[in-house]
Structure 1
Amino acid sequence: MISLDFNFNILTRDLSHYLENQVKVGLLGSGVGLYLVLGFSAAYTCYYLISVAKKPQLISGGKKFYQFLREQCPVVSETYYPTFWCWESRIQTLLRPFVTAKPGVVYRNELIKAADGGQISLDWFDNDNSFPHPDPATRPTVLLLPGLTGTSRESYILHMVQQSRDLGYRCVVFNNRGVSGEMLLTPRTYCAANTEDLETVIEHIHRTYEAVPIMAAGVSMGGMMLANYLGRKGRETCLKGVVVFSAGWDVFECTASLEKPLDRFLFNSYLTSCLQASVHRSATGHSQISTSRVVASPKRFHRLKSVQVPMLCLNAADDVFSPSHAIPVEAVKQNPNLALLITCHGGHIGFLEGLWPRQSTYMDRVFKQFAKAVIEQGSRLKEISK
């Protein structure tokens, strides 16, 4: 990592002197292009180190949870260095699916029945070669919830499966109805406000592996659904801990942000068309569903003060899907089970870092450290939620 412990005044003076003298010399000779490039590079580096690379803001409603995170998840205290050539919010958001690698993962698919007759698709990564947890009956399990139109094949999900595999854990991905290719058996899809399918999935996992610790991670709408679920259930859940990434905390503010002309063109229209396509593809025989009227319209969250399970939430302040002024800072401060980690940059499910961000991102590192802390320090974490 590059150290920021330098005298800014001296650097500014030396840089100004360099540009004033060297560029003048270059203009008289043949090296003007080189001098301009060097000067611009030096100025850009200074701007990046001073204005872009910053430590995240960690906010918690309880000193115990705050201290736990500082001790067990050192990433929350580290400076986040976004990829220097694509730190802007929209660029991070758009490039993540294309530049990050997709680890090879072989799933075991399971279709389970919902109470209304519908079916829910689960993709299991059993991790049978787990060295730390060779017994399937006690192997820790991580439930993963993708975003609005996401499935188990999204790069961010595959990376979390990879991180869990390295830790020796089992993963199960909850695919929302109709998005992963299965047919809709009832005229019903999903939204963040309705947690019935999620409750069915969690109960199914718990019945299947009664002796294992279970934690969950949700991304974007998946995180919204998880937060809503915890707000409704309180202590009546088997989840030991939850981590949420890039959740849209106030859907009305999110909608207003995404309806701005540029963001509507880049994101909103695409998401709506994907939703309509998934319903059209899987809704054969259900004339009650009109794909021309399918839109994303989840309601406001259940009250965060009702969450009784330790939950860490990562958001970027520049996320156009979830504007910074809508992040529930004050609500988090009032609940000792909640913590917010806010980076200055990262976009929506971006958090790219490194010169060429093919491998793990800042978000992946947060996930791995928190998942390990929840599973291996469960007794300490349980004390926090009392």
Structure 2
Amino acid sequence: MTEPMPVFSDYEPNFLFKSGHFSTIYPYLFRQVDIKYDRERIKTQDGDFIDLDRSLVGGEYCVILAHGLEGSSQSTYALGSAKAYNAIGWDVIVTNSRGCSGEPNLLYRSYHSGFTEDLGLTIDHVASHYNYKAIVLVGFSMGGNIVLKYGGEVGANLHPNVAGLVAVSAPCDLHAASNKISTTGNILYQKRFMNSLKKKLHQKRQFEECTYSAEELDRATGFLEIDNMYTAPAHGFKDALDYWKTCSSKQFIDNIRQKTLIISAQNDPFYTEECHPVKEAEANENVKLILTKYGGHVGFPLFGEDIYWHEQQIQRFLQQIG
């Protein structure tokens, strides 16, 4: 018999928000946040670029925010987070994954759920070009997986300016998450991801490295096909299974040496029980896992309040640092 997961009961939403699907969709459809960014472009060593969108309030501390799959600095959760962190005096710099800032990237490869290279470059850039007392990395969904993986990869060698890590609704087991989102109940989410990815991957056919045809791409219906067709070969993995196994952040949590907060919901429609790193968090004193009963995927809305529940938790985490 499986032991029950720990549940943090502070998040008790109203009836409608007890639905994982409703909590997931509501912010996307109804939340409006007005944030004016200014953009900075940095070059990568491989001849590409990353666009950083900044919401600066003259703070002494900074959040570097990593968005989710096919998201950007304009994603509702990124805008809401920028507003919440700015409200307590923190600057926010959102790193747009390659090809996600509104302009195609320059290379055949782009980004994936374990692509930590650009996060490391962004940290080095911010630490060397700004005068912050401390930096905290905050990642959502795919970005949360990247933040946790990066923290475990570098371990004690994490940049000294980075004082903490936060991951919200991170798919810590990519194989399990990919299987779950392919189920019938998640067909609308999967279709949305597929439409966005296919549009970009049709553009990638101009590169000589491309081995898939337009017809093959059009026939693809899920992440297994997309990751076998593009993600794995473009980024040096044997196949989708190798990519998922190699990049799942769960296996890296044991080596995280910095103060870390993980927030996830049991009723996240994208994830199975394996996606929540309960044992891994319990085994590492640096990691706190808040696993709620409700919340959906990057949801956690509070009806009638501008700042959502997870944003309030992260505000507290940041205030403990600065």
For normalisation by structure 1, the TM-score amounts to 0.70
Aligned length, in residue pairs = 287
Q: For 1:120, which of 50, 55, 59 is the aligned residue?
A: 50
- Give 3-state SS (helix, strand or coil) of 1:363's partner: helix
For residue 273 of structure 1, what is the aligned residue in structure 2? 195
Q: Tell me which amino acid in the other structure corresponds to 2:293.
A: C
Contact 2:148-2:252 at 8 Å conserved across structures: no
Distance 1:188 1:329, change over 3 A: same
Question: For residue 316 of structure 1, what is the amino acid of its counterpart?
Answer: A
Which residue number in structure 2 is paired with residue 67 of structure 1?
A: none
Tell me by how many angstroms 1:83 deviates: 3.2
Counterpart position of 2:276: 327
Give the structure 2 partner of residue 345 of structure 1. 294
Distance in 2, Cα, partners of 1:98 & 1:351: 14
Per the TM alignment, residue 285 of structure 1 is displaced from its structure 2 partner at its CA by 4.8
Identity of aligned residues (%): 25
Deviations 1:63-99 (A, max 9, x none): xxxxxxxxxxxxxxx6312232242111211222112
Q: Which amino acid aligns with 1:184?
A: N
Partner secondary structure for residue 303 of structure 1: helix
Query: In the TM superposition, what are the counterparts of 1:1-386 in structure 2 within 5 Å?
Result: 57=7, 79-102=10-33, 104-128=34-58, 133=59, 139-238=60-159, 239-263=162-186, 265-280=187-202, 283=204, 285-289=206-210, 292=217, 294-295=226-227, 298-299=243-244, 300-301=248-249, 302-354=251-303, 356=304, 359-375=306-322
Q: CA-atom RMSD, angstroms?
A: 2.1
Unaligned stretches of 5+ in structure 1?
1-55, 59-77, 134-138, 376-386
Distance 1:223 1:344 in 2: 19
Aligned amino acid, residue 21 of structure 2: R
Q: CA deviation at 1:261?
A: 1.2
Name the SS of the counterpart of 2:98 in structure 1.
Answer: coil
The unaligned stretches of length 5 or more in structure 2 are: 1-5, 218-224, 232-239
Change (3 A) 1:191 1:114: same
Contact 1:179 1:278 (C-alpha < 8 Å) held by counterparts:
no
Distance 1:191 1:278 in 2: 13
In structure 1, what is the Cα distance between the partners aligned to 2:302 and 2:56? Answer: 29
State the shift of 1:294 in Å.
Answer: 4.0
* Helix, strand or coil at the partner of 1:171: strand
CA distance in 1, matches of 2:14, 2:196: 28
Aligned counterparts of 1:345 and 1:324: Cα–Cα separation in 2: 14
Using structure 2 for the length normalisation, give the TM-score: 0.83
Deviation at 1:279, TM superposition (A): 4.3
1:321 is displaced (CA, Å) by 1.4
SS in 2 for 1:205: helix
